[in-house]
């Protein structure tokens, strides 16, 4: 499932492949995606050069030289790749942007939770994202983070999934961050001490940075912009490992439902009722 590290990997892969290239034709599938593509946008995109790519949370903004943008969300199973134009179409292909030269930018998405939209103004599109999304999770402001987490009675899982608190965290990295911080995901934000808030903030940044280094987690469908799979799933401490031993203490990883999502944790390293002896972050090796 593409979360921040996966989306960042796609952007980094695609940037050198797309920047400076011109879109020469647009192919579109018939099936609807999560958000609509305006039919009139086909003509506006053809002839446009790609000025750059950026990521905001789990969103991708593909800037065009004329000041417009394509806004992409990978949803659950979206794949945004550059492939040889001569390569046969895969199933579930929804967009093909032919480029000058041999390549084609393709959007494939079996489950169709993703979207590709044309934005007349890249600046407006970026501002719209900023308006609803919290800060990027690198270089978070400690007091602001403490205020956001400590000021709510929601559980940590819900808080971390809330894009308005921190942008880009999804189910996998919410669980992994809680594990690294030694915090039970059912703890409420306002039950955390300042030190625990700080630990959580550091854990979020660390796990996301490490996951980017591993090119993200490929659970099922995810691939980067060049079609390569991720490797960070091999480093998951708790996500998807219910019943398996905790890497820190070998206790069986537990799975409960929080905020409507499966939530994995170590009952030993992440006690629900914090005690002084157990309130230490587990080590990962």
Partner DNA sequence: CTGTAATCCTGCGAGC
Partner DNA sequence: TGCTCGCAGGATTACA
Active-site amino acid positions:
2-3, 58, 261
Q: Which stretch binds DNA (CB under 7 A): 31-39, 139-147, 227-235, 266-274?
A: 31-39
Q: Is residue 194 a contact residue for DNA (CB under 7 A)?
A: no
Nearer Cβ to DNA, position 57 or 103? 57
Distance CA 141, CA 175 (A): 21
Q: Is residue 217 a contact residue for DNA (CB under 7 A)?
A: no
Binding mask 44-83 for DNA (x = CB under 7 A): -------------xxx-------------x-xx-------
Q: Is residue 204 a contact residue for DNA (CB under 7 A)?
A: no
Distance CA 53, CA 71 (A): 10
Cβ count near 54 (within 10 Å)? 14
Number of residues that bind DNA (CB under 7 A): 35
Contacts of residue 79, Cβ cutoff 8 Å, sequence gap at least 6? 106, 107, 108, 109, 221, 222, 223
Binding mask 225-254 for DNA (x = CB under 7 A): ------------------------------
Alpha helices (H) along the chain:
4-18, 41-45, 122-132, 142-150, 156-161, 171-181, 194-213
Contacts of residue 237, Cβ cutoff 8 Å, sequence gap at least 6? 176, 179, 180, 246, 247, 248, 266, 282, 284
Phi and psi at residue 5, in whole multiples of 5°? -65, -35
Q: For residue 39, with 0-12 CB atoms within 10 Å meaning exposed, 13-18 middle and 19 or more buried, which class applies?
A: exposed
Interface residue with DNA, options 91, 139, 273, 276 (CB under 7 A): 91
Q: Is residue 111 a contact residue for DNA (CB under 7 A)?
A: yes
Interface residue with DNA, options 248, 259, 266, 281 (CB under 7 A): 259
Applying CB under 7 A, the residues found at the interface with DNA are: 1, 3, 31-32, 34, 57-59, 73, 75-76, 91-92, 110-113, 132, 151-155, 158, 161, 163, 170-172, 188, 220, 259-262
């Amino acid at each position: 499932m593409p979360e921040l590290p996966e989306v960042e990997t796609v952007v980094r892969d695609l940037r050198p492949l797309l920047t400076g290239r011109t879109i020469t034709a647009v192919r579109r599938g018939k099936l609807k995606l999560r958000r609509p593509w305006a039919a009139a946008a086909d003509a506006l995109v053809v002839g446009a050069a790609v000025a750059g790519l950026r990521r905001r949370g789990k969103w991708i903004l593909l800037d065009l030289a004329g000041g417009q943008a394509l806004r992409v969300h990978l949803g659950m199973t979206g794949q945004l790749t550059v492939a040889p134009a001569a390569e046969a179409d895969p199933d579930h292909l929804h967009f093909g942007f032919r480029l000058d030269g041999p390549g084609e930018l393709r959007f494939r998405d079996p489950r169709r939770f993703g979207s590709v939209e044309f934005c007349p103004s890249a600046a407006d599109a970026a501002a719209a994202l900023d308006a609803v999304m919290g800060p990027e999770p690198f270089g978070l402001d400690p007091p602001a983070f403490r205020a956001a987490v400590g000021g709510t009675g929601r559980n940590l899982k819900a808080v971390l999934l809330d894009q308005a608190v921190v942008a880009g965290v999804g189910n996998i990295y919410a669980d992994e961050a809680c594990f690294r911080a030694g915090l039970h995901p059912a703890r409420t934000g306002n039950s955390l001490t300042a030190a625990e808030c700080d630990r959580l903030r550091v854990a979020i940044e660390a796990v996301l940075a490490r996951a980017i280094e591993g090119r993200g987690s490929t659970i099922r469908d995810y691939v980067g912009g060049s079609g390569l799979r991720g490797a960070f799933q091999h480093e998951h401490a708790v996500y998807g490992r219910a019943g398996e031993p905790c890497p820190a203490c070998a206790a069986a990883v537990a799975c409960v439902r929080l905020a409507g999502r499966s939530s994995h944790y170590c009952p030993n390293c992440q006690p629900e009722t914090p005690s002084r002896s157990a309130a230490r972050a587990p080590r990962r090796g």
